[in-house]
Amino acid sequence: MSNKTNYFSSPISDEIVKSIDQLNLPTIQKHHIRLLAHCLEIFKEIAKDDITVFDEDKLLREWCEKQSQKFNDKNFNQLFYEQMSSAAKKLNSFAQSIEKKFKDLDLADLINLVEQNEQN
Asked whether the beta carbons of 46 and 57 are under 8 A apart, the reply is no
- Could you tell me the residue range of the domain that residue 95 belongs to? 14-119
pLDDT tens, position by position, 20-67: 999 999 999 999 999 999 999 988 888 866 666 676 788 888 888 888
CA 39, CA 47: separation in Å to the nearest integer? 12
Q: How many CB atoms lie within 10 A of CB 27?
A: 8
In a domain, 98, yes or no: yes
DSSP code, position 5:
P
Highest mean pLDDT (candidates 27-31, 67-71, 100-104) = 27-31
pLDDT at 53: 63
pLDDT tens, position by position, 105-115: 999 999 999 98
In a domain, 7, yes or no: no
What average pLDDT is seen over the chain? Answer: 84
Total domain count, the chain: 1
Give the H/E segment covering residue 55. Answer: none
In a domain, 103, yes or no: yes
**Residue 67, C-beta contacts closer than 8 angstroms, at least 6 positions apart:** 80
In a domain, 55, yes or no: yes
Asked whether the beta carbons of 34 and 20 are under 8 A apart, the reply is yes
Short-list 51, 63, 65, 61, CA closest to 95: 51
In a domain, 9, yes or no: no
pLDDT at 73: 77
Short-list 8, 20, 71, 79, CA closest to 87: 79
Q: Residues of the chain with pLDDT > 70: what percent?
A: 86
